Amino acid sequence: MKPTPTAAVLAAAVLSLAALTACSAADQHAKAPRSTPHAKKQATDPPIGNAARAASGGCPTTASLPLPKDFPENLPVPQGAVVTSVEHRTGGRLVVATVVPSGFDTTLAFLHQQLPNAGYTPQDGEVEEDDAESNFSSANVRGRWTLRKTPDCQKGVYLTYLTSAAP
């Protein structure tokens, strides 16, 4: 049976996200970072390098990496989010991968409520049982968030932001 075009696009997006969250960001820029609320509470330094370490179960076991200076300042990040990797790409694109401990439904509700409250307009989103994604934009930023359940980290979910400056 031949997959539908929509299924093929979705499969490609999921595979791209999986590859993205597994990649290291060898080109991480040395800019002054700002911290997530979770990272500010941590007394330990983040690991050397560009990715937070995870237990064999997939949950982060070290302090959150700080958000990079070029992460949009008013883009809402859920409380307790642990930044696991940061990647700067060509064209001014920034990818920030996180693990959020509050679960899929709570994190999805946060995104649906807080992004519009911060001035971001959602576009072309979809929600399925184990994942969700949406484009968003403001006067200065264009982006996409993806949310994916993780069976190996209790209620933790993967939340990834891809952002760039609006043309």
pLDDT grade, residue 110 (50/70/90)? very high
Distance (Å, rounded) from C-alpha 150 to C-alpha 137? 27
The better pLDDT of the pair 147, 61 is held by 147
What global pTM score does this model have? 0.67
Q: Which of 26-30, 62-66, 86-90, 124-128 has the lowest mean pLDDT?
A: 26-30
6 vs 52, more confident: 52
41/92: higher pLDDT: 92
Strands laid side by side in the 141-149 sheet: 82-88, 94-100, 157-165, 141-149, 131-137, 121-127
Q: What is the DSSP string of 54-74?
A: B-TTS-B-SPPPPBPTTS-TT
Element (H, E) at 96: strand 94-100
Per-residue pLDDT of 71-82, as tens digits, reads 999 999 999 999
